[in-house]
Amino acid sequence: MREHTVPGDPTLAVRDLGGDRPPLVLLHGAGGDSAGLLPLAERLRGAYRVVLPDLRGHGRSGAAPWSWAGALDDLARVVAALGLDRPAVVGGSLGGMLAARWAARQPECPGAVSLDGLPVPSRPDQLAGLDPTRAAAELARLEAVFAGMAAAMPDPAEADRLRRAMADLDLDAACRALAAPLLLVLATEDLPAQQPFAELYAAYRRGTLARLTAIAARQPRLRLHPLPGASHAMLAERPDRIAELVAGFLAERP
């Protein structure tokens, strides 16, 4: 494995498993870094040259205010600096959201995979089947938890900026605008930390699946795969199955 530093603002740290196989970029989630994706990278390296950047403000990369435009430009810098030709892009959580945005922007991408890269629930209309008054109360309770978590971070302002960007992402619009194929793997179970909000998250998953299913009926580049028995931590829970899904989806593409 080689280590690269991509210059610019911010500088970006990249792990590169090397080889002459088709390139695949793995993107980690919020609060993590590329090291957490190495088990998945090892499962994919036989078929791909796997490259793992640390996103801006994470791991060994430089600090910079989070924005989707900035993060997409960072990814483009990594692709150019390492000479990657039409890389596939796979990400979990925040990285999955970024992968979906990349697929909406890069028609030459052979395929992208988002592993439960969903916006943070923030509006009652996202919660299918939940009474609006109850939905608003549960969202307020969830917001208080998230605000407390952000306040405990080393940079509370940047943590809050990232959280709000994740809540404001219009995933539906990105899926409608796909220029490249996207597989969206969806969690079907709660994390332990989500269990106190089980009613909210169940309603959110129902609403999300219904909306995306309607979009997929009109958008042939979008494929949905709810993963039985998997939570938002599916990368840690089901690494072999995730690797199979990624490899199988990308094998369908030239």
Write the DSSP string, 139-172.
HHHHHHHHHHHHHTSSSHHHHHHHHHHHHH--HH
160 inside domain: no
In a domain, 153, yes or no: no
Q: Could you tell me the residue range of the domain that residue 95 belongs to?
A: 2-120+171-251
Whether 30 is in a domain gets the answer yes
- 191-213 in b/e form (b: 16+ CB < 10 A) is eeebeebeebbbbbbebbbeebe
Report yes or no on 145 lying in a domain: no
pLDDT of residue 253: 67
Q: According to the model, what pLDDT value does residue 14 have?
A: 98
Q: Which residues of the chain have pLDDT under 70?
A: 253-254
Considering the domain boundaries, does residue 74 fall inside one?
yes
Question: What does pTM read for this prediction?
Answer: 0.96
Q: What percent of the chain has pLDDT over 90?
A: 96
Give helix 198-216 / helix 132-151 axis angle, nearest 10°. Answer: 100
Question: Which CATH number do you get for residue 81?
Answer: 3.40.50.1820
Question: What confidence tens digit (pLDDT) does each residue in 9-65 have?
Answer: 999 999 999 999 999 999 999 999 999 999 999 999 999 999 999 999 999 999 999
| Alpha carbon distance 247, 48 (integer Å) | 9
Whether 161 is covered by a domain: the verdict is no
Contacts of 227 (CB under 8 A, 6+ apart): 185, 186, 187, 188, 234, 238, 241, 245
Residue 11 domain-assigned (yes or no) = yes
Q: What share of the chain is helix, strand, coil (3-state, %, to 5)?
A: 50, 15, 35
Q: How many domains is the chain built from?
A: 1
Distance CA 20, CA 24 (A): 11
